[in-house]
Amino acid sequence: MKIASLLGVLLPLTMSAATAAEDVVTKELTPTGKLRAGLAYAPVKTPVFVTKDASGQVEGVGLDLAKTLARSLGVEVEVFVAATTGELTDASAAGKIDIGFTPVDDERKQRVDFSPPFFIIESTYLVTAASGISTQADVDRPEVTVAGIAGSTTIRAAGRTLKRAKIVALKSVADAMAMMQAGSAQALALSRDAMPALQKTLPGSRVLDGAYQVTGVAMSVPKNKPAALAFVTRFMEKAKTDGTVRRALDAAGLQDLAVAPSAN
């Protein structure tokens, strides 16, 4: 009888604590009642970038992961589309979005918090046929102009490693490719996974071997939201092991890309 009485007291307390914890997650992760998901747009799908179909609807890895997260929270997704991952970091830091999908670097870690990575990117260069560039070292010449995306981890890393080349930060991948196609830039700084599709639009171009940066792509949340961070951390580790990330990559036509290793 004493045990039964004790259980009668403890069970409601346990349930109450669990409900309170869920309420904190909901308050931190979906303060508006919806999951505001920040996604960066580009002409080609990658683990970082989404695209739009003929009707203008967004599709891609980040959206699929956001929808799965939203279902686990019992809410709808509200999509926030930006031209660059830098804009997503700004939006997250300002509390305009609840989650974002971006590569990770030290500068971003100062402004937002991150889940474990779901994909590992290598930053490299796409170079024009007329550039005469064949190695990473060849890029760092005074006569070389490198196009990159403003506010991105790739252009920041290029800035740290290139001492003589001219670096031009542009608003979007499309703007950077236009500069390459016009011959105004000889190299494009971006992640390797984005290169094959872009290379097709630039005859004679080649992707350089090696990488000047290797980092993870992860889900970001605003700072000072520990319950939200803990929740997306658990979500991402589970998503990597239960096939959620794999299905999102496959659906985007990225079957050849590997899911980041689990921390467990």
Q: What pLDDT shows up at residue 17?
A: 47
Q: What pLDDT shows up at residue 24?
A: 86
Confidence of residue 233 (pLDDT cuts 50, 70, 90): very high
Number of domains in the chain: 2
**For residue 261, is pLDDT > 70?**
yes
Q: What pLDDT shows up at residue 23?
A: 81
72: containing domain: 2-120+216-251
**For residue 16, is pLDDT > 80?**
no
Do residues 161 and 44 both lie within one domain?
no
The rounded percent of the chain whose pLDDT value lies above 70 is: 92
Per the domain annotation, does 196 fall within a domain?
yes
Q: What pLDDT shows up at residue 22?
A: 74
Residue 194 CA to residue 196 CA, distance in Å, equals 6
One-letter amino acid at 206 equals: R
Rg of the chain over Cα atoms, rounded to whole angstroms, equals 21
Query: Which of 135, 150, 253 minimizes the C-alpha distance to 194?
Result: 253
Do residues 222 and 208 both lie within one domain?
no
Q: How far is CA 177 from CA 17, 91, 182, 206, in A?
A: 53, 25, 8, 14
Helices (H), the chain: 2-29, 61-73, 85-93, 106-109, 136-139, 153-161, 173-181, 195-199, 226-241, 244-251
Provide mean pLDDT across the span 243-249.
Answer: 98
Query: Which of 200, 164, 170 minimizes the C-alpha distance to 188?
Result: 170
Confidence of residue 263 (pLDDT cuts 50, 70, 90): confident
Q: What pLDDT shows up at residue 19?
A: 54
- CATH number, residue 226: 3.40.190.10
Which residue reads 């804009």 in tokens?
87
Query: Which of 187, 195, 208 minimizes the C-alpha distance to 135?
Result: 208
96-138 pLDDT, tens digit each: 999 999 999 999 999 999 999 999 999 999 999 999 999 999 9
**For residue 20, is pLDDT > 80?**
no
**For residue 140, is pLDDT > 90?**
yes
Which residue reads 């950077």 in tokens?
176
68-101 pLDDT, tens digit each: 999 999 999 999 999 999 999 999 999 999 999 9
Residue 219 CA to residue 62 CA, distance in Å, equals 9
Do residues 11 and 73 both lie within one domain?
yes
Q: Taking CA 145 as the corner, what is the angle to CA 204 and CA 178, rounded to the nearest 5 degrees?
A: 60
Q: How far is CA 149 from CA 94, 198, 202, in A?
A: 21, 14, 18
DSSP bridge pairs for 167 = 146
Residue 195 CA to residue 191 CA, distance in Å, equals 7
**For residue 254, is pLDDT > 80?**
yes
Do residues 104 and 31 both lie within one domain?
yes
Q: What pLDDT shows up at residue 8?
A: 63
Per the domain annotation, does 264 fall within a domain?
no
Do residues 132 and 68 both lie within one domain?
no
Listed as own residue / partner, the contacts of 135-139 with beta carbons closer than 8 Å and 24 or more positions apart are 135/208, 135/209, 135/210, 136/208, 136/209, 136/210, 136/212, 139/165, 139/187, 139/208
pTM of structure: 0.86
